Amino acid sequence: MKKKLFLLVCLLVVSLMAAGCSSSESKAGGREVDSSVAKEAIDQGKLALADADLEKAKSNFKLALLEDAKNAEAKQCMGLIEKYEKFVAAVDEKDTDTAANTLEQLKADDKFALIEGMAKEPEEKLNGLVAELKELDAKIAALGELYNPEDENSMPDELYLVKSEELLANPLLTPKQKKTVENFKNAATDRANKLLAIEEEKMRAAEEEQAEAAASEATAGVDMPFPIGTSLKELIGSYGDPTYDDYFMGARLVVFNNEDGYYFGDATETVTGFMIANPNIGVFGTHVGMTPAEISGILGEPSGSYLDESETQSFVVDYYMENYKIFFFSDEEGGPTTSVNVISN
């Protein structure tokens, strides 16, 4: 009898120990798990997603995990929301690659149906963004047709700056696209400036050549050492210091070696005419020392002849030719000339 009673007691103890183990397995973090609360929270989270109330859904799924930290469905729903938020952020940041990859992950989730309605609008935005970015890529590629960077003599089309600015003003331009356009714009601008500088230098050289030719033509009949248009600095560099520098007959006259005289305009230090006293310098087939009659035999009848009583007290005969005025001076009327002024018109 005692033996049977002992066996009954043992069986009771084992039963109580099993019940205790079962109870401990239903505890989490030192407290009992209320599976009904976790399930209700998950159901409410799903309803919130159906209503597109993301914050309420997150709160409910967090509550479910608080009740049951190992709840696989609550964890999956929270992961779904995290991927959705990453997707939306990538779309807003125009990161189409990240957005497309994240959307693909969302759709692969077997819980995607819970958030599918909310994903439609950002997905449409992504599709529109992808289409617009492709259009921008085409416009950027078209910039390269405005000039050939491989050809050093290729001048960028005048539209390149306008097109570049239009693209850079587009708010949809991605950082990568923006950098591409800016690099194109800078390279094309540098190319244009370089070619323009070359053309300007060519024009400047041509203008100087034309000016020299014009000056040479203007004084082709005057055998002075330097032509009209020569700078005073150049004359001083060749002759040395002048022997006379003052105003004479209404203009600045600078004389070198007491015989080679050059007139200068008021606003410039370049030669505009000559005062010649050297009989060895020819003036259109004439020279100082010839009489007015001899000169007229070469140049024809003068435009006028008179006595200059105001300044030189000399007898003057003058000629007006294509680009200059010529004045011959004599001490006596009809006598040999003592000097000649040649002034550019």
Question: Per residue in 78-95, pLDDT tens?
Answer: 999 999 999 999 999 889
Longest dimension (CA), the chain: 180
pLDDT at 290: 94
Alpha carbon of 112 to those of 88, 105, 119, 276: distances in Å? 15, 9, 9, 105
pLDDT at residue 126 tops 50 = yes
Report pLDDT for 112: 94
CB 21: neighbour CB atoms within 10 A?
Answer: 8
The region of weakest confidence among 40-49, 168-177, 294-303 is 168-177
First-to-last alpha carbon distance for the chain, in angstroms, is 155
User: What ranges in the chain are assigned the alpha helix state H?
Assistant: 2-25, 35-50, 54-67, 72-92, 96-108, 116-143, 160-168, 175-218, 232-239, 292-299
pLDDT cut 90: percent of the chain above it? 46
In angstroms, rounded to a whole number, what is the distance separating the alpha carbons of residues 322 and 158? 44
Mean per-residue pLDDT over the chain, rounded:
84
- Report if pTM > 0.85: no
**Whether 192 contacts 185, CB under 8 Å:** no
Distances (CA, A) of 315 to 58, 312, 318: 115, 8, 10
258 is written with which tokens?
Answer: 């007491």
Number of residues assigned to the chain: 345
List the one residue out of 59, 113, 61, 107 whose CA is nearest residue 87: 107
pLDDT band of 199, cuts 50, 70, 90 = confident
State residue 252 phi and psi, 5-degree precision.
Answer: -75, 130
Beta bridge partners of 328: 317, 340
DSSP 8-state symbol, 67 = H
pLDDT at residue 106 above 50? yes
Tell me what pLDDT residue 26 has: 43
Lowest mean pLDDT among 62-71, 83-92, 321-330: 321-330
What does the alpha-carbon distance between residue 334 and residue 73 come to, in Å, rounded to a whole number?
A: 129
For 18, 124, 158, 198, 209, the CA distances from 202, given in Å and listed in that order, are: 105, 57, 21, 6, 10
